[in-house]
Amino acid sequence: MSILVNRSGDEDLCQGGHFTSNFILSPSPSVDVDGPPRKRSRISDPLILRNQEQHLQKAVPSIEILPDECLFEILRRVSCIRDRSACACVSKRWLLLQSSIRRSEIVSRPNNCNFVNVSKMAPATNTSRGFRHADSGAMDVDDEKVTAPSVEADDGDSEEGIGRDDGYLTRFLQGKKSTDVRLAAISIGTVKLGGLGKLLIRGTDATRGVTDVGLSAIARGCPSLKVLSIWDVPSISDASLCEIAQGCHQLEKLDLSHCPMITDRGLVAIAENCPNLSSLTLESCPRVRNEGLQAIGRSCSNLQSVNINDCPLVGDQGVASLVACAAGLVKIRLQALNISDLSLAVIGHYAKSVTELSFMGLQYVGERGFWALGNARGLKKLKSLAVSFCKGMTDSGLEAIGLGCPVLKHLCLRRCFFISDNGLCVFARAAGTLESLQLEECNQITQTGILSSLSDCKAKLKTLSLVKCMGIKDQNGCLVPLPVCNSVRSLTIRDCPCFGSQGLAVVGKVCPQLQHVDFSGLTGITDSGVLSLMENCRAGLVKVNLSGCINLTDDAITHLTTLHGGSLQLLNLGGCRRLSDESLKVILANCPSLQDLDMSKCSITDHGIVSLPSCGGGLPDLQVLSLSGCSQVSDKSVPILRKLSSSLVGLNLQRCNLISNKAVGWLGERMWRCDILS
């Protein structure tokens, strides 16, 4: 024993040649006490425990250690729609992998195949066959044979495999909701619901917005897509557009706005792979050139509508080739392009099926261009023409269009400063089918020109609109005798500061069958002019807009409601500050069919509203009422407003400062079908 006691050992077991007090030697029958000492392991060491835990964790096989290539092969063998959706919910990685699988790459199992349901695996504890242990890092795919996608029922699913997509669904993403993750979820989640047919993206998040990844997911998972509209998404490029072309062969409408990365390469891919394309819109795409439009014209025989706006690299070659090749074009809109007279000449010659034309801001198109547009005599089916801010539109061009477009019904000219009375009269004589004429900021047009035009096209014209035309003013030397145009039903004279009561009296004599009138912003008209117009209108006015006519008084409204109250359905008196409670009373008493009443910023008070029940009559059909800016209306009027009409669906009480929030809340509880603005 002395040898054993004096034997030196580890300092933990013996210090200074003696045993520690905590060390207890317990001899075992199987151990020789005279043998060499043994050191006991210290399993309570935290470092040892941590290493053991890490070793145990590494020993557990997990599907998450597999690279994307292996997971891709696994997930593409999950053919059941329900299981694929469940797999996409595991993690963002699985979602993106699922969305990267093309529909043609999915392999469905036969009915007698005992295939592993991957969607039911826990990523951290997956030990199913089809995998080796995690330390090998390899995948062993089953040797069973696979067949083409099946559509037979399985486990309660209505369809097995991919199913049929008819494109019933519409998805709209805006702002921060526009992300790649959402697009990936849409590409997977819409499969069983009929398939995605329409996708609209308006703007995107600045940090994690839509990129080529998300749009490519739509291309792979939504072959039924027919309408794609993308606005203000600067990060998408030709790569995703090519994916759309390869995966969505049923695409019919493409709308790209403010997409600076899109070039001709993407449009060529669309042209080669989407023969059903019928509508193309390009706006503010600065890298699009002529080649893309040429390819669209050559390959898309079903193209019917083209809208190109603010694409500076698009010129005559692209537009002319597109129009010449696309014989089925029905609608053409060109805005802010660097094209010349050549493009308009080609349109006038080849656009034989076009029914609607719109030109805006074509600064390089001169007088010869519009002259050639009409004289080419190819626009035999043109029914609607709109020209805005084109200095090339002159009297000669307008005359040529009138002669070359035999079925033209609608003409709209905005900011065409070189159109005069002479050109308008010649056009009116040539355009025998004209039904609607709209002139805005055409300052050389006068009242004489308008009356002459009405005399020439009096058999057809139904709608006449004059907006901000400085030449429209009261004139003493009008045509004698005045023409009578019984066909005109709608007349708009808006924001023409020189037009007054004298001109209004002339209007009543020339157009006795008016039903819709809009004289908003005419500060020069008075009660006498309105009375003269009302007395000459025989058909009965239905819609009247007198907003901003600040010189009208209660007398004008009394005459209006007395003569035409039975037919009135819309009455807008907003901004007529001289109208008081008396106007409201006569409206209530004489207008039983009124549906829309606007008395914003009028001098309406509580006294007038409170006395309404004693006025008789009522407004049983009233749906919209606006009292915005009536500062003398308070909480006292709220109970009366509730009883005013049971059919009210819109009530505007904005800027009524004497109406409290509590009163508005009380009103909202009792008029729950009505939208109240306060």
DSSP 568-583: --EEE-TT-TT--HHH
Residue 34 structural domain = 1-40
List the one residue out of 331, 324, 279, 327 whose CA is nearest residue 301.
Answer: 327
Q: Residue 227 pLDDT > 90, yes or no?
A: yes
Q: Please, which pLDDT band fits residue 270 given cuts at 50, 70 and 90?
A: very high
Four-residue CA torsion sign, 372, 373, 375, 378:
positive
Would the pLDDT of 616 be above 60? Answer: no
Ramachandran category for residue 473: left, alpha or beta (phi over 0 → left; psi -120 to 50 → alpha): beta
Instruction: Quote the CA–CA distance of 496 and 492 in Å, as a whole number.
Output: 10
368 in a structural domain: no
Kindly tell me if the per-residue pLDDT of 162 is higher than 80: no
Q: What is the pLDDT of residues 510-557, one digit of tens each?
A: 999 999 999 999 999 999 999 999 988 988 999 999 999 999 999 999
Q: What is the pLDDT of residue 165?
A: 54
Whether 361 is in a domain gets the answer no
The stretch 623-651 carries a mean pLDDT of 89
Length of the chain: 678
DSSP 632: B
- For residue 72, the model assigns a pLDDT of 73
What is the structure's pLDDT at 152?
Answer: 32
Average pLDDT of the chain?
Answer: 82
CB atoms within 10 A of CB 521: 20
Do 92 and 15 reside in the same domain of the chain?
A: no
Count helices and strands in the chain by DSSP H and E runs: 23, 22
Structure-model confidence comparison of residues 485 and 329, the more confident one: 329
Neighbours of 125 (CB within 10 A): 11
Same domain, 452 and 491: yes
Residue 377 has pLDDT above 70, yes or no: yes
620 pLDDT tier (thresholds 50, 70, 90): confident
Q: Which residues are registered as beta bridge partners of 411?
A: 385, 437
Q: Are residues 314 and 236 in the same domain?
A: yes
pLDDT in tens, 380-428: 999 999 999 999 999 999 999 999 999 999 999 999 999 999 999 999 9
One domain for residues 510 and 430: yes
Range with lowest mean pLDDT among 33-37, 99-103, 344-348, 668-672: 33-37
What's the confidence (pLDDT) of residue 300? 95
Report the C-alpha gap between 522 and 512 in whole angstroms. Answer: 20
What confidence score (pLDDT) does residue 311 get?
96
Whole-number Å distance between alpha carbons of 130 and 142: 6
Reported as a pLDDT band with limits 50, 70 and 90, residue 4 is: very low
Model confidence band, residue 130 (pLDDT cutoffs 50, 70, 90): very low
Number of domain units in the chain:
5
Q: Are both 450 and 590 inside the same structural domain?
A: no
Residue 620 belongs to some domain of the structure:
yes
Q: What is the mean pLDDT of residues 249-271?
A: 96
Residue 547 lies in a domain: no
Q: Which tokens go with 3?
A: 């040898």
Q: Is the pLDDT of residue 642 over 50?
A: yes
For residues 196 and 167, give the distance between their C-alpha atoms in angstroms, rounded to a whole number.
5
| CB of 204 closer than 8 Å to CB of 178 | yes
Tokens of 43: 């399993």
Higher pLDDT, 207 or 509: 509
184 and 115 in one domain?
Answer: no
Alpha carbons 123 and 140: distance in angstroms, whole number: 17
Percent of all residues in the chain with a pLDDT value above 70, rounded to a whole number: 79
Domain containing residue 487: CATH number = 3.80.10.10
In this prediction, residue 325 has a pLDDT band, given cuts at 50, 70 and 90, of very high
Please give the angle made by the CA atoms of 42, 45 and 50, to the nearest 5 degrees.
Answer: 130
Residue 568 shares a structural domain with residue 665: yes
Query: What is the Cα–Cα distance from 613 to 607, expressed in whole angstroms?
Result: 12
Residue 355 lies in a domain: no
pLDDT higher at 253 or 6: 253
Q: Could you tell me the pLDDT band of residue 621, with boundaries at 50, 70 and 90?
A: confident
Q: What is the pLDDT of residues 178-203, one digit of tens each?
A: 988 889 888 887 776 778 999 999 99
In a 3-state reduction of DSSP, which class is residue 410? strand
DSSP state of 656: -
DSSP-derived 3-state class of residue 333? strand
DSSP secondary structure of 276-320: T--EEEEES-TT--HHHHHHHHHH-TT--EEEEES-TT--HHHHH
Query: What is the spatial distance between Cα 319 and Cα 283, in angstroms, rounded to a whole number?
Result: 14
> 159 and 169 share a domain?
no
Residue 662 lies in a domain: yes
Could you give the CA distance from residue 517 to residue 261 in angstroms, rounded to a whole number?
A: 47
Whether the predicted pLDDT of 125 surpasses 50: no
List the beta bridge partners of residue 387: 359, 413
For the stretch 86-122, pLDDT in tens is 777 777 777 777 777 776 677 766 544 444 444 444 4
Contacts of 30 (CB under 8 A, 6+ apart): none
Which pLDDT does position 322 carry in this prediction?
96
Asked if residues 229 and 196 have their Cβ atoms less than 8 Å apart, the reply is: no
Could you tell me if residue 173 is inside a domain? yes
Contact 163, 190 (CB under 8 A): no
My answer on whether 219 and 194 are in the same domain is: yes
> Does some domain include residue 398?
no
CA dihedral 116→120→123→126, nearest 10 degrees, is -50
Q: What is the predicted pLDDT for the residue at 164?
A: 46
- Does residue 66 register a pLDDT over 60? yes
The two beta strands, 18-19 and 14-15, are antiparallel
pLDDT digit string (tens) for 339-375? 999 999 999 999 999 999 999 999 999 999 999 999 9
* Residues 178 and 320 placed together within one structural domain of the fold: yes
> How far is 218 from 180, CA to CA, in rounded Å?
10
| Residue 314 sits in the same domain as residue 194 | yes
pLDDT of the residue at 46: 55
- Per-residue pLDDT at 207: 81
- 313 and 185 co-located in one domain: yes
